[in-house]
């Protein structure tokens, strides 16, 4: 059932492919009219490609409204819908939000889609020859739905594991079919990858709510901006360039140390925690365990109080130095592994004591192939980053299923 729902939306996207050339002609026409209005805009290279100039940090404009919306449904007598034949609520140009996003972000590159020649990164089944930071929804055509965020599925009665809140507020806002909009702001915002300010509580999903989550970023066109005041740093050219480009896993680093006093909350773990509420917390929180340190990096499990033992794996504000003092991790081993698990790295040097585990240490944002149990995906675990004998993760080219296991990941830090 799960599988079917997802298959359906992606199949529609595949059926769409032949229509693309026609739609591109329409694009070109639209662009020739919008070009004059935007000719003075310098190319925006930041992560706000979907935003209007007022909402970006760079003040530049990128996608045009007309690439996603149609006012009347036709121009020159030709349909402006990318697929389907009936007009849609909110005037969008496809039969669902997912299909609209996949028109550009599906498995077949539509090529450059703007006057500045940007190529959209593929998120369905990446065939652009790089390991995408977010993973993807159908890696190497290996459909392993049980492992991923189930785009296309009816989630009206399936709230996220660990959620506490009013899920019907979320589905009333974004629809009952789990789609890209649940996590990304289609109109852009100032967070990394346009991540919503609070995907779990629509009323708090704005730039001024005290309950927003900030995922700030620094971007460099050529090299690592090396800025640990920002949650994320990434660098490189666009998706159409060879790897590593700015969407490649190795060109994205997580830099700012989250602290137990952060208000508003910051970083990826707090962001995932807006939906998976119970799985996130700073040290000392009743759902997590551990010991807080009153505003700085937590003291972890230091055997000092009744709160001390962890109830859930730490995902914020605990570093390897403290954990090593507590004798729960092995920093020397962590330093010696050649390919390290993803972590938050404030000083920019991987493998030392200020490194911190977080959600992406173990999970992908979109999904992972995880074909670990010899073609029986239902036996695999949830969206996890397995590591093979040579340190490759399960969505990388050359990953060996023979040596790939989750324990290889745990052992990098714990060496039990």
* Site pattern 36..55 for ligand HEC (x: CB under 6 A): -----------x-xx-x---
User: Are the C-beta atoms of 233 and 225 separated by less than 8 Å?
Assistant: yes
Cα dihedral 400, 403, 405, 410 sign: negative
CA distance 106 to 103: 6
Q: Least distance in Å: CB of 272 to ligand HEC?
A: 3
CA-nearest of 366, 387, 365, 315 to 344 is 315
Q: Using CB under 6 A, pick the residue from 12, 16, 26, 63 that binds ligand HEC.
A: 63
Tell me how far, at minimum, the Cβ of 371 lies from ligand HEC, in Å.
15
The answer to the question of residue 130 lying near ligand HEC (CB under 6 A) is: no
Residues in 152-171 that interact with ligand HEC by CB under 6 A: 155, 158, 160-162
Looking at the Cβ atoms of 272 and 398, the one nearer to ligand HEC is: 272
Length of the chain: 416
**Beta-carbon contacts of residue 241 (< 8 Å; ≥ 6 apart):** none
Q: C-beta of 235: minimal distance to ligand HEC in Å? A: 12
Using CA of residue 70, residue 72, residue 75, residue 80, what is the dihedral sign? positive
User: Any residues with CB less than 8 A from the CB of 302 and at least 6 apart, and which?
Assistant: 291, 308, 322, 325, 326
> Which residues in 308-347 contact ligand HEC (CB under 6 A)?
309-310, 313-315, 318, 320, 323, 326, 328-329, 341, 343
Site for ligand HEC in 193-252 (CB under 6 A): 193-195, 199-200, 238-239, 247, 252
Does residue 31 bind ligand HEC (CB under 6 A)? no
Q: Does 282 bind ligand HEC (CB under 6 A)?
A: no
Binding of ligand HEC by 67 (CB under 6 A): yes
Is 243 or 401 the residue whose CB approaches ligand HEC more closely?
A: 243
Among the listed residues 99, 150, 190, 394, the single contact to ligand HEC using CB under 6 A: 150
Measured in degrees and rounded to the nearest 5, phi and psi for residue 326 equal: -75, 0
CB 207 within 8 A of CB 197: yes
> Is the four-CA dihedral 65, 66, 68, 69 of positive or negative sign?
positive
186 binds ligand HEC (CB under 6 A): yes
Nearest to 178 by CA among 24, 366, 388, 47: 366
* Shortest distance (Å) from residue 195 CB to ligand HEC: 6
Least distance to ligand HEC, CB of residue 315, Å: 4
- Spell out the residues 6+ positions from residue 231 whose beta carbon is closer than 8 angstroms to its own: 192, 214, 215, 216, 217, 254, 255, 256, 266, 267, 268
By CB under 6 A, residue 275 contacts ligand HEC: yes
Rounded to whole angstroms, the Cα distance separating 162 from 275 reads 7
Nearer to ligand HEC, 239 or 393 (CB): 239
Letters for 346-385 (x = contact with ligand HEC by CB under 6 A, - = none) are: -----------x-xxxxx-xx--------------xxxx-
The Cα 394–Cα 404 span in angstroms is 7
147 lies in the site for ligand HEC, by CB under 6 A? yes
For ligand HEC, the binding residue among 12, 80, 92, 331 (CB under 6 A) is 92
Among 13, 23, 80, 104, binds ligand HEC (CB under 6 A): 104
The least distance separating ligand HEC from the CB of residue 338, rounded to whole angstroms, comes to: 15
Alpha-carbon distance 211 to 279, whole Å?
17
Beta carbon nearer to ligand HEC, 237 or 401: 237
Number of residues that bind ligand HEC (CB under 6 A): 99
């Amino acid at each position: 059932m799960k599988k079917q729902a997802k298959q359906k939306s992606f199949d529609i996207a595949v059926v769409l492919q032949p229509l693309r050339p026609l739609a591109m002609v329409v694009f070109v026409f639209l662009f020739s009219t919008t070009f004059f209005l935007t000719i003075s805009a310098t190319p925006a290279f930041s992560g706000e490609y979907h935003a209007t100039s007022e909402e970006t940090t760079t003040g530049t404009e990128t996608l045009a409204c007309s690439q996603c919306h149609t006012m009347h449904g036709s121009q020159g007598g030709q349909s402006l819908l990318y697929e389907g034949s009936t007009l849609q609520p909110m005037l969008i140009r496809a039969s669902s939000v997912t299909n609209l996003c996949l028109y550009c972000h599906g498995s077949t590159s539509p090529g450059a889609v703007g006057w500045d020649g940007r190529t959209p990164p593929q998120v369905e089944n990446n065939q652009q020859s790089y390991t995408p930071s977010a993973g993807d929804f159908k890696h190497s055509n290996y459909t392993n739905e049980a492992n991923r965020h189930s785009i296309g599925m009816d989630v009206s009665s399936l709230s996220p594991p660990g959620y506490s809140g009013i899920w019907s507020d979320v589905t009333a806002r974004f629809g009952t079919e789990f789609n890209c909009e649940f996590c990304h702001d289609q109109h852009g915002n100032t967070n990394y990858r346009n991540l919503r300010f609070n995907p779990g509580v629509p009323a708090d999903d704005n730039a001024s709510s005290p309950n927003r989550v900030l995922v700030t970023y620094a971007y460099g066109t050529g090299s690592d901006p090396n800025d640990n005041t920002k949650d994320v740093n990434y660098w490189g050219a666009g998706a159409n360039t060879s790897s590593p480009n700015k969407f490649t896993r190795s060109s994205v680093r997580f830099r700012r140390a989250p602290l137990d006093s952060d208000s508003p909350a910051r970083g990826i773990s707090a962001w995932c925690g807006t939906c998976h509420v119970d799985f996130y917390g700073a040290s000392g929180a009743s759902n997590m365990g551990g010991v807080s340190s009153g505003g700085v990096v937590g003291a972890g499990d230091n055997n000092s109080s009744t709160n001390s033992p962890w109830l859930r794996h730490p995902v914020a504000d605990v570093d390897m130095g403290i954990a090593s003092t507590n004798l729960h991790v092995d920093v020397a081993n962590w330093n010696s592994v050649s390919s390290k698990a993803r972590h938050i790295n404030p000083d920019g040097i991987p493998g030392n004591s200020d490194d911190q585990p977080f959600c992406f240490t173990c999970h992908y944002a979109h999904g992972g192939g995880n074909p670990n149990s010899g073609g029986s995906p239902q036996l695999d675990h949830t969206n996890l980053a397995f590591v093979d004998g040579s340190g490759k993760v399960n969505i990388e080219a050359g990953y060996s299923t023979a040596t790939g296991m989750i324990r290889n990941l745990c052992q990098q830090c714990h060496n039990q």
